[in-house]
Amino acid sequence: MAYIIAEDRCVGCGACAWVCLFGAPAPGIGDKSVYVINEKKCVSCGHCENICPNSAISPDANHKPIRKVTINAEKCVGCSVCEHICPEKAPHGQLHHPFEIDQEKCFQCGACAKRCHHDAILVEYA
């Protein structure tokens, strides 16, 4: 799931790149005045859509908003990858012990789930 930029409405202002915590939007290869979103980096948080002054950014057809992100304590090995990848530091805990997610800090981007090598992070979609 990712967001897409309508090339006919993109003015190349770079606001999407500035607000993205994961580096997904970047200038296009041929036409540097139009931005594109790298699907592999996009975590579908929607920050770019919210900041775009021309409403050029929208979810792709397969987008499902995330309702909640949780950690399965039985699968979590306490590696701390989730804590390091999260811009809000919502996952927290001690190394080698199951981590937890502070729901007040989590903005449901799902980046931690994409990076978890143990499938311990569960994403509930709306």
Domain of residue 103, CATH code: 3.30.70.20
> Residue 45 has what pLDDT?
86
Residue 70, classed as helix, strand or coil, is strand
pTM score, whole prediction = 0.71
| Average pLDDT, integer, range 13-19 | 95
Range of the domain at 10: 3-59
Residue 121 host element (H or E)? strand 121-125
Domain final position from 59, 74, 105: 59
Q: Residue 31 above 70 pLDDT?
A: no
- Say whether both 70 and 92 belong to one domain: yes
Are 54 and 72 in the same domain? no
Are 39 and 75 found together in one domain?
no
Asked if 63 and 74 touch (Cβ cutoff 8 Å), the reply is: no
- Shared domain for 71 and 120, answered yes or no, is yes
Confidence check: pLDDT of 17 > 90: yes
If asked whether residues 49 and 72 sit together in one domain, one would say no
Mean pLDDT for the chain overall: 92
Q: Please say if the pLDDT value at position 124 is more than 80.
A: yes
Q: Is the pLDDT at 114 greater than 90, yes or no?
A: no
Q: Is 71 helix (H, G, I), strand (E, B) or coil?
A: strand
Check residue 1 and give its pLDDT: 59
